[in-house]
Chains A and B, each alone.
Chain A
Amino acid sequence: MIGEALRLLSDWSTLDTWIVLIAALAAMACALPGVYLLLRRQSMLGDALSHTVLPGIVLAFVISQTLRSAGWLDSRSLHAAQHAILFGGALVSGLLTALLTQWVQRRGRVESSAALGVVYTTLFALGLLLLRLLADNVHIDPDCVLFGAVENIVISPPQRVSVAWFTATVLALNLLLVLLFYKELRISTFDPALATSLGIPARWMQLGLVAVTSATLVTAFEIVGSILVVAMLIVPAATARQCTDRLGTMIAMSLAVAAASAVLGHAAALTIPALIFQPLGFDEVRDANTAGMMALAAGVLFLLAALLSPRYGWISRAVHQMRLSVRIAAEDLLGRLYRQEEEHPRPQEPVEAIDRLGQPPIIRWLAAQGLKRKGYLRRANGKWQLTERGHQAAVRVVRAHRLWESYLAAHQQELPDDQLHYSAHRAEHFIDPKLQAELAKELKRPAHDPHGRDIPGENGNS
């Protein structure tokens, strides 16, 4: 399977490199405004903007076409003017979306997501209808607008160079804006009220973000398509959000994720469809749409981050929780054995640990195995018994428990004595020797807990 994939990838050509380069630049340019949209909880505004640049694009095409047919522009200056007109169209439609949504929301008292939904679907419908009605006159292919056409762009050498430069410029501009307004953007994103009180115009920052997003979207639409651009906008930022709490790190990570999803997406587009569908008898299937695969690759990276992120991933959190509960189970076991030994002093038969400790059996088993490996327990006559080291460890746990009970009894007058145990049972795992020493000092080194049992000494000699 992997060998087959490598064979398919060995056909990698200059065209593929160009595709990946352009797609990565576009994805990275999108990821920058995406970080701020995500943090401002306006991801769906990004989605709305990606839809509503469509009428702007169509109108821009119509205008530039009209200008050419009117003879005001020759084909060379048209090429230069086209970008300007496209940007203008996208800016107008993007800002119109944001302002109209705000207006409908405030004046019509419509809930914010519904206001967004009303505005962008209507504008997008307008764009689609225009596209359909005018497609013949303005030479734009609806499929390219919606699904992206990076594969077509790279075929002509001058075009691919100019598109790459252009996308790189937009990326550089976005980076520059982020660096210039780093502080303002950060404050207005995390605390708009503070931003306003500091004299940062939060409203203008918002409109500026909308403008930059629209401009970036219109750059990227012909590469990854006007809907899939949302994937490049939000998914890298969401992936980075899974891994870090720092804004700077998050920006850097989302750039890396965007670039990686471009590379992985194109590689997957070249290999995976053929690997899956050719054995099924569809020999015609050699590759798939790169833009779609990029979105999918970004989704896979997001899923990986959600699973494996060191701090917030599902798996690492599950492992962390499991470790904690094994430690608690082990300490409970130690305490239980210690108390039984206390009640039946040494020379007697080794006692059996009662296994109703409240944890699932697998956790209990793991705890016992861990203690055995550390040499705290030994098995004698089919029963668990504390070793000398195990005894010392158990003393620490029991000491914590009884000190805490004493402390509670001294300070929480209203807590009845029979309630002390439950609180101490939970707290004993989190009272380290330093805190134990402090508790002992404050309680004037008590010898007995409120139930009258001995509090074992610091050295383990009770």
Chain B
Amino acid sequence: MISRRVDCLGHAAGFGTRAGLAAVLIGVALLLVATRPTTAGAGQGRATVHVAQADPLPAGAPQVQPAAAPQQRAEPHVAAAATLWQRFVRAITLRDYHTRVVLLGTLVLGMTSGVVGTFMLLRKRALIGDVVGHAALPGVCLAFLLQQIWQPGAERSLPALIGGAWLAALAGAGCTVALRRWTRIRDDAAQAVVLSVFFGAGVVLLSIVQRIPTGSAAGLQNWIYGQAGLMLASDVQLITAAAILCLVICGLLFKEFALLAFDEKFAASQGWPVLLLDLLLMGLVVMVAVIGLQAVGLLLVVALLILPPAAARFWTDHLLRMTLLAGAIGGITAFFGVLPSAMLARWATGPSIVLVGGVVFGFSLLFGTQRGLLPRYWLQREVRRKVGRADLLRAMYELIEPGLPDDAPQVTSLAGVPVRRELLVQKRSWKARRVAGLIADAQRRGLIATGPADQVSLTTAGAEEAFRAARQHRLWELFLMQAADVGLTQVDRSADRIEHFLEPDEIDELERRLARQYPELARPEPAMPHSPHALPEKQP
């Protein structure tokens, strides 16, 4: 059993590695194509295309104006006086270089976070992403402040900020583990404490950053809410490089991470370095969270790690498929979440990415083929109907049987015998409406025909079904009495639950076992055994 499991995992790992590498190669190719400035994009594009400044904080801090910024902002451009539809077409066809850069960046980010988030979700540590996101703020601010102390008045350097964010987020994750290990508070409280205290430190440092002259122009606020539109091509390259690293690690260690996610103790007993793997996975989460800060903002970066895998979970039970699907959903979510910011000036990318993710999750929750609510509901309804139909037909049979002339009833003698509706209603203490519904359903299927004066009768097909249902019921009753010593008064009810789910070979088995005691079953054609208990409703 165990070795089979490992084999499965090994097989999956091989495929996962290949799939991961393929994704990486596609990513590199896309990056090369998209970030090479084309003539229409970087050349004269800047002069001719009107920029609708995506103002992320209308009432808040002063913002960087693109004209004032020394570097060119990779901002989704909006053609002047274009209609919403034209802007949409322009954005979706990736006609602008900057749109292309930003969309590619978020696409890669979404894919990576979906893949990494899958393992965290299965490891039941989904909310660690929230801690990590919030904990990054002091790191960003501190990195900026240190840079300003080092070289006053310098332009913000992205690698420094990302490095700071990474260290602080890692420290936050470490603190969570340490608090859980060495204090009396539980996992949830440790997360809340670390999250809020680190964020508090971040707010303090941010207020200090805003008080120094170069600080308000640094746009650190965008790291809180996220503003994908302000990403530079170099930012996207950094994001893509980090994302590729994450994907490669996930692909190479797919088997190990899967084992860790499903059965940590088994992994430890097999000699895997569980602590190291755990730390590595945490490092990946931190990396995804940090590169996601710019696009989604630190308040919401956790959503990128939770929503895609949680949505993918509804569609499949297979880990590799779930991981790939989560990556795909993440990519799509990020792509369509950012798209509106290329069209609407006041749009905030972070929240809109998360909202798209929420919609995808809601859709999956309802329609997911594996665990979705509606498919499950339909399945249950089908089973309920099938059971109800069998119950109705058996009730018909049991009402007809006493009036039959011979001792061993045949299928052929059942069809056409009229039964009054109210007898059926009494028979199983059903409600009249339910009986009517069941009769209508059976009639649609050609099992029952209605006659005059509120009478119903079995058709030939219905007679066969009824005979089978009653026979299964009685066989199971007899078996229970013989093999399980179930009392005569209990046997009807116990059989009622299981009779609908007996397979043909199980029926054969029952016949074989019961043949010695009940010789009437040994006839060549299917024969009906007598009911072991008196049927209470024998009166006409």
Binding site for B on A (CB under 8 A): 38, 41-44, 46-47, 51, 104, 107-111, 113-114, 116-118, 121-122, 124-126, 128-129, 132-133, 135-136, 140-143, 146-147, 225, 227-228, 230-231, 233-235, 237-238, 241-242, 269, 273, 277, 280-282, 284-286, 288-289, 291-296, 298-299, 302, 306, 312, 314
What residue in chain B is nearest A273 (Cβ atoms)?
B208
Which of B203, B302, B307: most chain A Cβ within 10 A?
Answer: B203
Q: Are A238 and B59 in contact (CB under 8 A)?
A: no
Query: In the complex, what distance in Å separates the CA atom of A427 from the CA atom of B352?
Result: 66
Contact segment of B191-199, B397-405, B425-433 = B191-199
Q: How many A-B residue pairs have CB under 8 A?
A: 237
Q: Is the CB of B188 within 8 A of A298?
A: no
CB distance from B69 to the nearest CB of A (A): 22
Given contacts A125-B358, A292-B207, contact A314 B182 (CB under 8 A): yes
Secondary structure type dominating chain A contacts: helix
In the assembled complex, 12 residue pairs joining A and B whose CB atoms fall closer than 8 Å, in A order, are: A38-B185, A42-B188, A110-B310, A114-B127, A118-B310, A132-B351, A143-B59, A227-B196, A286-B211, A288-B208, A289-B203, A295-B200
Interface centre among A114, A147, A291 (most CB of B within 10 A): A114
The yes or no answer to B313 lying at the interface (CB within 8 A) is yes
Contact B351 A292 (CB under 8 A): no
Q: Please tell me if the beta carbons of A281 and B152 are within 8 angstroms of each other in the complex.
A: yes
Could you tell me the distance in whole angstroms from the C-beta of B131 to the nearest C-beta in chain A? 9
Q: Are B203 and A107 closer than 8 Å at their CB atoms? A: no
B357 within 8 A of partner (CB) = yes
Select which of B124, B189, B355 is within 8 A of A129 by beta carbon: B355
B126 to chain A, nearest CB (A): 4
Q: Decide: B189 and A234 in contact? CB cutoff 8 A.
A: yes
B213 at the interface (CB under 8 A from A): yes
- Determine whether B177 belongs to the interface, using a CB cutoff of 8 Å to chain A: no
The answer to whether A292 touches B211, judged by C-beta atoms less than 8 angstroms apart, is no
Q: Give A121 to B127 CA distance when docked, in angstroms.
A: 11
Residues from 46 to 65 in B contacting A, C-beta threshold 8 Å: 56-61
Q: Which A residues lie within 8 Å of B302 (CB)?
A: 117, 121
Q: Binary interface profile of B, 351-375, with partner A (CB < 8 Å = 1, else 0)?
A: 1111101100100010000010100
Contact between A143 and B188 (Cβ–Cβ < 8 Å)? no
> How far, in angstroms, from A44 to B134 measured CA to CA in the complex?
13
Report whether B197 and A231 are in contact in the complex, using a CB–CB cutoff of 8 Å.
yes
A355 to B223, CA, bound (A): 60
- In the complex, A241→B358 CA distance in Å? 36
Q: What is the total number of residues of chain B having a CB less than 8 Å from a CB of chain A?
A: 71
Interface centre among A51, A273, A288 (most CB of B within 10 A): A288
Judge if B149 is at the interface, Cβ distance under 8 Å. Answer: yes
B303–A44 contact, CB under 8 A? no
B467 at the binding interface (Cβ < 8 Å): no
* Contact pick for A147, options B134, B203, B365, CB 8 Å: B203
Q: Is B204 an interface residue (CB 8 A)?
A: yes
Quick check: A41 and B207 within 8 Å, CB to CB? no
Residues of B within 8 A of A282 (CB): 148, 208, 211-212
Using A44-B191, A306-B182 as known contacts, say yes or no to A118 and B358 having CB atoms under 8 A apart: yes
Residue of B nearest to A109 (CB): B371
Given contacts A142-B59, A269-B204, contact A110 B313 (CB under 8 A): yes
Q: Which residues of A contact B243 (CB under 8 A)?
A: none
Residues in A neighbouring B191, C-beta threshold 8 A: 43-44, 47
User: In the complex the two chains form, what is the Cα distance from A135 to B205 in whole Å?
Assistant: 25
Q: Is B184 in contact with chain A by the CB < 8 A criterion?
A: yes
Task: Find the B residue at minimum CB distance from A111.
Answer: B124
Q: Write the nearest CB–CB distance from B77 to chain A, whole angstroms.
A: 20
Tell me, yes or no, whether B11 is within 8 Å of chain A by CB.
no
If A41-B188, A109-B371, A288-B207 touch, does A128 touch B200 (CB 8 Å cutoff)?
Answer: no
From the candidates A104, A124, A291, name the one contacting B200 in the complex (CB within 8 A): A291
Contacts of B373 in A (CB 8 A): 107-108
- Give the shortest distance, in Å, between A440 (CB) and chain B (any CB): 41
> Which residues on B sit within 8 Å (CB–CB) of A302?
193, 197
| Residue B462 CB within 8 A of the other chain | no
Residue in A128, A284, A293 with the greatest tally of chain B CB atoms within 10 Å: A128
Distance A234 CA – B190 CA, assembled complex (angstroms): 9
Known: A234-B193, A284-B212. Is A299-B300 also a contact (CB below 8 A)?
no
CB neighbours (8 Å) of A44 from chain B are 127, 130, 188, 191-192
Which residue of the partner chain, among B126, B200, B205, contacts A117 with CB atoms under 8 Å? B126
A294 to B204, CA, bound (A): 9
Q: How far is the CB of A289 from chain B (nearest CB, A)?
A: 4
CA distance A242 to B373 in the complex (A): 43
Query: Are B351 and A129 in contact, CB atoms less than 8 angstroms apart?
Result: yes
Q: How far is the CA of A227 from the CA of B199 in the complex (A)?
A: 8
> What's the least CB distance linking A326 to chain B, in Å?
22
Contacts of B204 in A (CB 8 A): 269, 273, 288-289, 292-293, 296
Given pairs A47-B192, A47-B196, A228-B200, 12 additional interface contacts (CB within 8 A):
A41-B186, A43-B191, A118-B307, A122-B358, A129-B348, A132-B56, A225-B203, A235-B196, A241-B189, A293-B200, A296-B201, A306-B182
